[in-house]
């Protein structure tokens, strides 16, 4: 238990003479939830329990009861909403930094929101940098989730706010509405052939396997490029070796398109690769553009795993709060921080700040936790 002592002071001499006597008391220590009983450590424990370790609030409620603590899931839910609101300035600053990067990756997944009229809502994810900190990575590692009730292109337009750099995405058409230069995903291109290969009779998957092997050559070049000493060397390897592999593959695709029924799984895979070709080859223009958007797919997995346990959000506001909290936790992880420690530090520091104070010193790559 933490006990806060707030002494009161008054002038005894003034009391004796009947002089007006103003009583003074020490100020209440700033708290992330004003007048609340929750400490930064408790709030961090509850938030990481749900959003890092996928432990729904009803299970946490049961755990607290085992120790004689009556803490309802409704109270915890209210606390998380208030914490998310307090973290909004940090989220917005990360949003600003994200939009200044030359390359962003994006993906989206479904979300069931009980009090929304739609049967499907969506959690979008936008990220930049690497999955984990690297001495050679000069790009900030940022993962931001954005709840939206639809999957329309307007969602990406609103979030990106005129961003005109490279956007690493799959073939979903909504991204066409943005001002970004779209870079295709070779993992999705390969996945189409893997699905076709699985759907074919044993021993009849020759063309699907050939396509997969062509794409493997592109990934082998990327593996070689990653072993270079610097970005310039890596880009040189990509530009010297990838064009020939791409030309051979495209020639194979165009020939195979004339031999395979277009409505078969294999035919659809071939057509997908041809339709996406201009986007799939954008990665040749800038080494910072990834060969696929697997970074975004991996970034959205923690949300997908959590969704299997807590199943739904009750309201849109709750889903937006979840997006903020997932963003802070996943960005902390990508920068090598322990989310629990990071949140405790934020909840101690943010109440001391004024509304428009700079929060750059609290960004994951700037903050000092020791």
Comparing CA positions, the residue from 179, 181, 185, 214 lying closest to residue 295 is: 185
What pLDDT does residue 25 have? 66
What pLDDT does residue 267 have? 94
Q: How is residue 147 annotated by DSSP?
A: E
What pLDDT does residue 193 have? 94
Q: How many H-runs (helices) and E-runs (strands) does the chain carry? A: 13, 7
Alpha carbon distance 293, 298 (integer Å): 9
What pLDDT does residue 10 have? 74
Residue 26 pLDDT level (bands cut at 50, 70, 90): low
Comparing CA positions, the residue from 222, 214, 226 lying closest to residue 241 is: 222
Alpha carbon distance 158, 178 (integer Å): 9
Residue 115 pLDDT level (bands cut at 50, 70, 90): confident
Residue 22 pLDDT level (bands cut at 50, 70, 90): confident
pLDDT at residue 118 tops 90: no
Comparing CA positions, the residue from 7, 8, 6, 64 lying closest to residue 38 is: 64
- Mean pLDDT, rounded, of the chain: 90
Q: How is residue 296 annotated by DSSP?
A: H
What pLDDT does residue 34 have? 84
pLDDT at residue 257 tops 80: yes
What pLDDT does residue 134 have? 58
Comparing CA positions, the residue from 46, 86, 1, 81 lying closest to residue 348 is: 86
**What's the pLDDT tens digit per position in 209-236?**
999 999 999 999 999 998 988 889 999 9
- Report which of residues 133 and 305 the model is more confident about: 305
Q: What residue ranges do the domains of the chain occupy?
A: 36-182+293-370, 185-289
pLDDT at residue 137 tops 60: no
Percent of the chain with pLDDT over 70: 93
Alpha carbon distance 370, 367 (integer Å): 9
**What's the pLDDT tens digit per position in 184-212?**
999 999 999 999 888 776 666 688 999 99
pLDDT at residue 1 tops 90: no
The average pLDDT across 107-135 equals 85
Residue 96: count of CB within 10 angstroms of its CB: 9
What pLDDT does residue 37 have? 85
Residue 33's contacts (CB-CB under 8 Å, 6 or more residues apart) are 43, 79, 82, 83
Residue 116 pLDDT level (bands cut at 50, 70, 90): confident
What pLDDT does residue 131 have? 72
Look at the block and give the residue holding tokens 């755990």.
Answer: 63
Our CA angle for 87, 91, 94, nearest 5°, is 145
């Amino acid at each position: 238990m933490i006990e806060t002592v707030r002494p009161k002071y008054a002038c005894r001499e003034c009391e004796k003479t009947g002089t007006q006597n103003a009583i003074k008391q020490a100020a209440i220590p700033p708290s992330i939830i004003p007048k609340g009983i929750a400490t930064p450590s408790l709030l961090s424990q509850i938030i990481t329990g749900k959003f890092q370790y996928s432990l729904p609030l009803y299970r946490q409620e049961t755990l607290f009861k085992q120790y004689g603590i009556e803490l309802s899931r409704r109270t915890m839910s209210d606390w998380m909403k208030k914490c998310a609101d307090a973290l909004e300035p940090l989220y917005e600053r990360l949003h600003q930094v994200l939009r200044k990067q030359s390359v962003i990756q994006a993906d989206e997944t479904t979300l069931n929101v009980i009090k929304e009229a739609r049967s499907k809502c969506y959690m979008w994810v936008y990220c930049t940098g690497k999955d984990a900190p690297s001495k050679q990575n000069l790009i900030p590692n940022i993962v931001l989730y954005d709840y939206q009730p639809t999957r329309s292109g307007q969602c990406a337009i609103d979030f990106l706010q005129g961003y005109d750099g490279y956007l690493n995405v799959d073939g979903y058409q909504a991204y066409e509405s943005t001002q970004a230069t779209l870079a295709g995903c070779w993992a999705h291109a390969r996945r189409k052939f893997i699905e076709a290969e699985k759907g074919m009779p044993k021993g009849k998957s020759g063309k699907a396997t050939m396509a997969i092997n062509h794409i493997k050559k592109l990934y082998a070049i990327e593996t070689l490029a990653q072993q270079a000493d610097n970005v310039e060397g890596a880009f040189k390897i990509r530009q010297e070796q990838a064009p020939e592999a791409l030309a051979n593959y495209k020639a194979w695709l165009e020939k195979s398109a004339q031999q395979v029924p277009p409505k078969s799984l294999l035919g659809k895979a071939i057509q997908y690769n041809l339709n996406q070709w201009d986007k799939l080859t954008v990665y040749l223009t800038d080494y910072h553009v990834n060969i696929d958007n697997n970074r975004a797919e991996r970034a959205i997995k923690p949300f997908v795993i959590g969704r299997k346990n807590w199943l739904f959000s009750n309201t849109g506001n709750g889903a937006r709060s979840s997006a903020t909290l997932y963003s802070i936790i996943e960005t902390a992880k990508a920068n090598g921080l322990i989310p629990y420690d990071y949140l405790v530090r934020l909840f101690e520091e943010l109440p001391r700040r004024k509304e428009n104070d700079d929060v750059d010193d609290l960004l994951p790559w700037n903050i000092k936790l020791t």
